[in-house]
Each structure stands twice: as C-alpha cells, then as structure tokens.
Amino acid sequence: MTISSPSFQPGQRVRITQQVSRLSKIGTVTIEGVVEVFEQSKTGSWFAHSEDKKLWLDRLRLRKDDGEIVYCNLDQFSRVEVLGEQA
C-alpha cells in the first residue's frame, strides 16, 4: 500500500512493519492492531525547513489486542497491510 494515497478507516485491522536504525544496525518492527484514527499532523521540528517551519507526518493511532494505544508515524519505508475489519 502506498503512503501517498492511504485508505485507512477506523475499525480496520492492520499490520505495520517499519525499519528502525539502532546502533548502526537496521532492523524491523511489526505492530498489529485496529485503526482508531488516521491523520496528517504537523510536527514541531525546527529543522523541517518547510512552510511554518513544520513537517507534516502521516500518523496512524492503533489499539492493540491488549488495549495498548500505539501511534505510528508512517514514512516511505513503512509497510501497511490491511488485514480486515474488526470483529
């Protein structure tokens, strides 16, 4: 799924796989849950060098099966698989 044209709806079950860099090593993290909100929001990044000195990010708020709420900032390396609707 391309991030440029997301179609995430509340109630969809998704699996997000993201690349992370830690101590000069690149690995992946996978999170699965139900979409609560998809939004584009500004970050207060001072180095963004864009209009209003803000950088717009695609964010998904998920609820995991154990009830934990997770915010995922999506980038070009994020892979989002839609698994279905919540039961």
Query: Is the pLDDT higher at 86 or at 3?
Result: 86
Among the residue ranges 8-12, 34-38, 49-53, 80-84, the one predicted with the least confidence is 49-53
Neighbouring C-beta atoms of residue 15, cutoff 10 Å: 14
All structural domains of the chain: 12-85 (2.30.30)
Q: What is the C-alpha to C-alpha distance for residues 33 and 28, in angstroms, rounded to an integer? A: 17
In this predicted structure, the answer to whether residue 2 has a pLDDT above a threshold of 60 is no
What is the per-residue pLDDT across 47-65, written as a single tens digit (0 to 9) for each?
555 566 667 788 999 999 9
Question: Do residues 16 and 80 touch, judged by C-beta distance below 8 A?
Answer: yes
pTM higher than 0.75, yes or no? no
